[in-house]
Structure 1
Amino acid sequence: MPDDSHLPHALRGLRIPAVASPMFIVSNPELVIAQCKAGIVGSFPALNAREAEGEPPMLEVWLKQITEALDRHNQDNPDRPAAPYAVNQIVHRSNARLERDIEICHRWKVPIWITSLGARVEVNQAAHDSGGIALHDVINDRFARKAIEKGADGLIAVAAGAGGHAGPQSPFALIREIRAWFDGPLLLSGAIATGDALLAALAVGADLGYIGSPFIATTEANAVEDYKAMIVASGAEDIVTSSLFTGVSGNYLRPSITRAGLDPEALPEGDVSTMNFKDQGSKPKAWKEIWGAGQGIGAVREVTGAADLIARIEGEYHAAYARLRARVE
């Protein structure tokens, strides 16, 4: 199996070479804890931790909950410690919480920082000052170079087929262009929902896969049952790409768009200037039931626990490796 000794310590020794991507609303402490206990990096967006006005920061509460749960697990399972966790920071000029959330994550010594929608030197420095590493998600080679120039330790290549704000490029093209000059940690996002796809990500040049949409249909996920059921019932043909809902191109479930009274085939273009994180999110309330997902959801056939999902992917990953090895040797 692949050697991970060249990776930062936080990304070594995982059960399978995978990081669970942070999903808006969906990712919560229960899901992150389950992912980490099952042996992969769990993550959540800092903006998911929301408190009412006048209350103490919920992000602090979540980090305490996750840290203590993983510490207890490690004490009880010294031979099977949990994987580290990651926090996603939206580095966008409208995120009024960014400075506060950076301070909290720095104080809690978050091991892995994932940055999106902009690269900032000071965020990467904060991660390093607290002993963490910084991974930045990118949709093309130009953004990848900027992220490394500003101090990111690694990159998440968000290719076509990914959920959320997916890029338009083929993973083969995107990984190849980045690998032409960058030999550091590189993750691939885009329809990775099976162990076969995870192995393919490594074959094309990534160090780890970045898995999101399958975790929507887990018992721990903070998603309504209709959303989970729609993931199970849908496939790649049910994914619609549109910039209408956030101002930036993203992938969404066709049935949720239809249910909102819109024509998925005639959606107007969105305006990037409408993206606003001042109210702790980028989706207007009018679109709160427009649900995101990636093209890999055809592999999701039931709602299950996060640990069971990871076990399924692990089994497929090893079977695919054995099958491929038999064919090429």
Structure 2
Amino acid sequence: MNNRITSLFGIEYPIIQAGMIWASGWRLASAVSNAGGLGILGAGSMYPHILREHIQKCKAATDKPFGVNLPLLYPDIDQHVKIIREEGVKIVFTSAGNPKTWTPVLKAAGITVVHVVSSSKFALKSQEAGVDAVVAEGFEAGGHNGREETTTMVLIPAVRDAVTIPLIAAGGIADGRAMAAAFALGAEGVQVGSRFVATPEASSHLHFKEAVLKAQEGDTLLSLKKLAPVRLLRNAFYDAVREAEAGGASAEAMQSLLGRGRAKKGMFEGELEEGELEIGQVSALIKEITPAADVVKEIWDGFNATRARLAGL
């Protein structure tokens, strides 16, 4: 396919792997890029020197384009940007912050900038900030989520009507059927997160991957709304959060309950009860651990099969 997304990134398929914390290291990013999609390193769980190491290893593992996901609220953001520029990274996806702050800096270095949004309002602000494209991420998505709680089915056409720049859909997309639906709503590419967690190349712990495979409908819920809303898989930690929220706990109390390193404990170290397990609603549709290249192919083949089926109606 040749469209604005494939042209913008220089990739074969408009399929982007999300830059998820504790899952998106160089092995996953390079595998997706080598398969024709766009692999993304998740800098949100990396110290600056670790990010540099993953960039260098990704460059050694693929000669295809790849990018870095950069949460703008990260405390070492200036060091991350410095490393990204020094290592010659050409694509950056920013999130969790104001795109006006760093977009000019990144663009001045010749970097293609994409910002993740949860509303048409923020999509328009991103366009005004000069980003090259936006990812519109619906309420179904895993991890940190928008307070608007707008579903992908509503969000994508709303953003498409609001902006003229290229649009990537995210949230609840794990196969070709969902990709075709996103394109019908106005997207020109898709960003896939949860499905790539269940791959051998993802750096997340095997116990977490196996928990994803066991997830059923309703097993993920949005929580920690007094801090930053995040979609979590049900476990003992989630139950403690739910009890605290029902009791009217303050933001300070919720922060104390969350503590430090809980996401690492759950997703990277495999502590399934006391860890924070971030995954999307679409985990209910994921039934096996599959190599990343096969995931790209399955999504692309499913997308074309769905297009053919719809054309015959």
TM-score by length of 1: 0.82
Q: 1:157 aligns to what?
A: 136
The Cα offsets for residues 91-117 of structure 1, whole Å up to 9 and x where unpaired, read as 12xx33111111111122212111111
**Distance in 2 (alpha carbons) for counterparts of 1:206 and 1:252:** 26
Q: Does 1:309 align with 2:285?
A: no
Within-5 A mapping of 1:17-56: 17-50=14-47
Q: Any stretches of 5+ residues in structure 2 without a counterpart?
A: 266-274
Q: Does 1:250 align with 2:236?
A: no
CA contact (8 A) 1:243 1:271 kept: no
Q: CA RMSD in A?
A: 2.5
Structure number with higher helix proportion = 2
Shift in alpha-carbon separation, 1:100–1:119, aligned structure 2, 3 A: same
Q: Which moved more, 1:282-291 or 1:27-36?
A: 282-291
Q: Which of 50, 63, 68 is 2:60 aligned to?
A: 68
The Cα offsets for residues 232-277 of structure 1, whole Å up to 9 and x where unpaired, read as 1113321111016x921111111xx23x48357545178678999x
**Distance in 2 (alpha carbons) for counterparts of 1:67 and 1:149:** 32
Task: State the secondary structure of the residue aligned to 1:19.
Answer: strand
Shift in alpha-carbon separation, 1:294–1:126, aligned structure 2, 3 A: same
CA contact (8 A) 1:235 1:296 kept: no
CA contact (8 A) 2:89 2:111 kept: yes
The Cα offsets for residues 193-242 of structure 1, whole Å up to 9 and x where unpaired, read as 11100111111001111100011111111111110101111133211110
Q: Any stretches of 5+ residues in structure 1 without a counterpart?
A: 52-56, 72-81, 277-281
Q: 2:82 aligns to what?
A: 103
**Distance in 2 (alpha carbons) for counterparts of 1:14 and 1:187:** 15
Q: Does 1:166 align with 2:166?
A: no
**Distance in 2 (alpha carbons) for counterparts of 1:273 and 1:90:** 22
Q: 1:88 aligns to what?
A: 69
**Distance in 2 (alpha carbons) for counterparts of 1:195 and 1:322:** 12
Q: 2:50 aligns to what?
A: 58
Q: Which of 111, 114, 131 is 1:132 aligned to?
A: 111
Question: 1:13: Cα distance to partner?
Answer: 4.1
Task: State the secondary structure of the residue aligned to 1:297.
Answer: helix
TM-score by length of 2: 0.86
Q: 2:98 aligns to what?
A: 119
How many residues get paired? 297
CA contact (8 A) 1:194 1:299 kept: no
Question: 1:125: Cα distance to partner?
Answer: 2.0
**Distance in 2 (alpha carbons) for counterparts of 1:309 and 1:144:** 28
Task: State the secondary structure of the residue aligned to 1:201.
Answer: helix
Q: Which of 8, 11, 17 is 2:9 aligned to?
A: 11
CA contact (8 A) 1:24 1:48 kept: yes
The Cα offsets for residues 74-94 of structure 1, whole Å up to 9 and x where unpaired, read as xxxxxxxx3x211111112xx
The Cα offsets for residues 118-142 of structure 1, whole Å up to 9 and x where unpaired, read as 1243521232223221111111122
